[in-house]
């Protein structure tokens, strides 16, 4: 198809985008640590961008990318950003892991409450493209549990671990979040497209259950309720199993997986035949409303999912059922990796098995570099 794909130019007001980029560059520097030159380049770029994004003086104004027409105006309808503090502390946390510079950790813990203040009621406990707070709390809890820095970070890190304990209880208690009759958790029941939120909940739940087992904790207590590590893992497995076909529709919501999956996916490249012809957007409507199955199978794509009653319509012109997105698929990939459970191996600093989690790798750069004076 031929249509314009304009590029938007964003200034320092796009604090949320900057925070996301800083986090990505920082995490990538850890992944590519064996390529020293490339890793250093990633860190340097992340630090420069973080410095610009966190300035809040007369010449710099923090904000969201969709608040500026020339930057995110086109995206506002579909990806409207509700805040930026969570992305900035997300970037600061990953930059701390990448460099060991405690000023970045200080920023993350010092601004955690501000990020919580930005979190809307409908997004509490949800990890997705617009909210990194919950995932950031899991990351900080990992730091507290396995590489405790003590004063002056204990208060900030402690609040993160308490937040995660409460989150895990909310996943399992059935008192805060409802579920479909088939067992899918509804973290944002008024939003639709529930699979993306269930996938990230599965990921965080499995990751945290691994932390608890490594700490030799039997589970999580909240008020009068107790939930075991096994219950948390069963929850994580159940959500992914639902996505892959263990649901009332007996349908895999991952395209190309299993015997029954969506065949009318709301996706241009999947629904338009590959015939060496170029089509305009209006010309593409003939396939949008066609009742024929997609000519191209979009292997691995997770669609939006069913409604709150487990009903699903495999219609291309109903994107609230059949549209896949890169953002939602990312959560599913994370959950599948977390649930893979490779064979346990011996940690380099312990005689105990560690469930396939590298306890020390993420902390290798934490030489606790003090802030510049």
Q: Which residues are catalytic?
A: 266
SS (H, E, C) the chain: CCCCCCCCCCCCCEHHHHHHHHHHHHHHHHHCCCCHHHHHHHHHHHHHHHHHHHCCCCCCCCECHHHCHHHHCCCCCCCCCCCCHHHHHHHHHHHHHHHCEHHHHHHHHHCHHHHHHHCCHHHCCCCECCECHHHHHHHHHHHHHHCCCCCCCHHHHHHHHHHHHHHHHHHHHCCCCEECCCCCEECCCCCCCCHHHHHHHHHHHHHHHHHHHHCCCCEEEECCEEEEHHHHHHHHHHHHHHHCCCCCCCCCCECCCCCCCCCCCCCHHHHCCCCCCCCCHHHHHHHHCCCCCCCCCCCCCECCCCCCCCCCCCCCCCHHHHCCCHHHHHHHHHHHHHHHCCCCCECCCCCCECCCCCCCHHHCCCCCECCCC
């Amino acid at each position: 198809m031929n249509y314009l794909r304009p590029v938007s130019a964003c200034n320092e007001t796009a604090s949320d985008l900057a925070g996301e980029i800083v986090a990505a560059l920082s995490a990538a520097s850890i992944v590519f640590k064996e390529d020293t030159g490339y890793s250093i380049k990633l860190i340097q770029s992340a630090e420069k961008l973080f410095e610009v994004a966190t300035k809040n003086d007369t010449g710099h104004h923090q904000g969201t990318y969709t608040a500026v027409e020339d930057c995110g105006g086109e995206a506002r309808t579909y990806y409207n950003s509700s805040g930026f503090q969570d992305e900035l502390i997300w970037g600061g946390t990953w930059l701390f892991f990448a460099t060991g510079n405690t000023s970045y950790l200080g920023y993350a813990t010092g601004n955690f409450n501000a990020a919580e203040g930005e979190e809307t009621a409908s997004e509490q406990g949800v990890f997705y493209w617009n909210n990194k707070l919950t995932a950031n709390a899991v990351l900080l809890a990992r730091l507290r549990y396995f590489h405790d820095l003590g004063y002056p970070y204990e208060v900030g890190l402690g609040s993160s671990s308490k937040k995660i304990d409460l989150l895990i209880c909310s996943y399992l208690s059935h008192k805060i979040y409802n579920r479909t009759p088939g067992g899918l958790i509804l973290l944002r029941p008024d939003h639709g497209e529930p699979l993306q939120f269930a996938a990230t909940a599965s990921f965080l739940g499995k990751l945290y259950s691994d932390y608890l087992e490594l700490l030799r904790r039997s589970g999580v207590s909240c008020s009068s309720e107790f939930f075991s590590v096994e219950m948390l893992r069963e929850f994580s497995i159940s959500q992914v199993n639902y996505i892959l076909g263990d649901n009332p529709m007996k349908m895999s919501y991952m395209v190309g997986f299993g015997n029954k999956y969506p065949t009318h996916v709301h996706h241009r490249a999947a629904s338009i035949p590959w015939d060496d012809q170029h089509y305009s957007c209006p010309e593409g409507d003939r396939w949008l409303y066609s009742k024929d199955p997609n000519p191209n199978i979009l292997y691995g794509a997770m669609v939006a999912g069913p409604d709150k009653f487990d009903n699903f319509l495999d219609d291309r012109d109903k994107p609230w059922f059949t549209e896949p997105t890169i953002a939602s698929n990312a959560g599913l990939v994370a959950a599948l990796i977390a649930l893979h459970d490779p064979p346990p191996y011996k940690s380099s600093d312990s005689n105990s098995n560690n469930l396939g989690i590298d306890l020390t790798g993420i902390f290798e750069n934490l030489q606790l570099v003090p802030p510049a004076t």
